[in-house]
A and B are shown apart, each in its own frame.
Chain A
């Protein structure tokens, strides 16, 4: 109820700004954006571009998450690996995303650029959080596992994974937003074929502000939907594997 009221308030504020500015070219009204969104959603291209962008960014996100988590495990196990990869991770974190996009445009074909950029945005976030999570595993639980002779597989599944999971989930939530922002930016700069980014680029060229707002809304909706799906599916799978509480308090851990 409160959320709906807040959303309505923001819509009113947007409409007010629109009325004050009184130029559709600068600020499109909520009604025009909704109308444009409705029109776009009735075309096959809209779904094609949305699905292709969703696919690319999800691919980059998954690759970055898996690689980041694997790298964190490796760096926790090996001091040499930690020293070796540390400058690379710092470099990725501090380099402007635009530099990577331009480099990627030189190295890769247009379709792969958003995947690569999403991957690069996700990797250091997941790596950092998972590494921290592994370090924070309660040593007293590990001692208990040692005394009770729990084998390595059991230690991983019963102690490490559930302990690291909240860190991993926090990283994924942050990284998902980043991957959408950077991935769509890569599509805009690279004018990637069949993408939301390309439509955003055309909106700018043809000064179609309502289109720009409508496609931005699509990105936001897709990003939020993907995040909700991720949390739901991870919670569901982890519950089945007994990695989180399976009662009403499970959300606290996620």
Chain B
């Protein structure tokens, strides 16, 4: 079942963030939401994730669970990187370590988020989303804060792990859309 948003309207107080927004992503497809800050890109992801409700419009989701790479990491500070992944994604320790290694964090699985740099936290955030056996992955500026070389390697790994999954990527950088092989770009 494809991901489909039809004629979505959403306002926060007086400010209208989404007006008649529609989007369709086929099963296993990848789309990119591109645009300036405050355009409503994160709002679209939050509506898909069920964190907020649209004022009007309809939403159809693919069967299965959702993973979300949040913009602000949202890691549990009292759990190690590995435990953050197993607790949220419900996967085994081995799987968590495998994905952490893919994110070039092999030696960091027993360390705590407080001891990580922003880029490392972001990679744990990505690893958590990839570790879950989900049909749909939402990514809100997932590669922000990664230096260029690392960013390219991480994008390649994410591309591999996202095979056959539906992906909605939010970014300011059109190059990321290309590297993630997005089929369609929605400018909002």
Contact = CB atoms under 8 A, between A and B. Distances in A.
B83 interface: yes
B50 interface: yes
Given A147-B51, A150-B88, A249 B79 contact: no
B12 interface: no
B7 interface: no
B132 A148 contact: yes
A145 B88 contact: yes
Contacts of B132: 148
B66 A147 contact: yes
A162 B78 contact: yes
B78 A144 contact: no
Interface string B76-120: 111100010001111000000000000000000000101000000
B74 interface: yes
A156 to B, nearest CB: 12
A87 interface: no
Interface in B28-76: 49-51, 65-68, 70, 72, 74, 76
B129 to A, nearest CB: 9
B65 A149 contact: yes
Categorize the interface residue count of chain B: 20 to 34
Contact of A244 (B66, B78, B83): B78
A141 B76 contact: yes
Contacts of B70: 140, 144
Interface residues of A, number: 21
Interface string A226-254: 00000000000000001111010100010
B76 A159 contact: yes
Contacts of B78: 162, 242-245, 253
A147 B68 contact: yes
A51 B70 CA distance: 54
Contacts of B89: 148
Given A245-B78, A249-B112, A144 B68 contact: yes
B83 A140 contact: no
Given A146-B50, A158-B79, A141 B74 contact: yes
B51 A146 contact: yes
B76 A158 contact: yes
A154 interface: yes
Interface string A68-86: 0000000000000000000
A3 to B, nearest CB: 28
Residue among B68, B87, B114, B128 having the largest count of chain A Cβ atoms under 10 Å: B87
B49 A147 contact: yes
A39 interface: no
Nearest to B72: A140
A143 B83 CA distance: 18
Contacts of A162: 76, 78
A75 B29 CA distance: 46
Contacts of B72: 140
Residue of B49, B88, B112 with most partner-chain A CB within 10 A: B88
A159 B83 CA distance: 13
A116 to B, nearest CB: 36
A108 B101 CA distance: 64
Nearest to A162: B78
Interface of B: 49-51, 65-68, 70, 72, 74, 76-79, 83, 87-90, 112, 114, 128, 132
14 contacts: A140-B72, A146-B51, A147-B50, A147-B51, A147-B67, A148-B89, A148-B128, A154-B87, A162-B76, A162-B78, A243-B78, A245-B78, A245-B112, A249-B112
Given A150-B87, A242-B78, 4 more contacts: A148-B67, A158-B76, A162-B78, A245-B112
Q: Which 10 A-B pairs have the closest CB atoms?
A: A144-B74, A148-B88, A162-B78, A147-B68, A147-B49, A158-B87, A140-B74, A143-B51, A244-B78, A245-B112
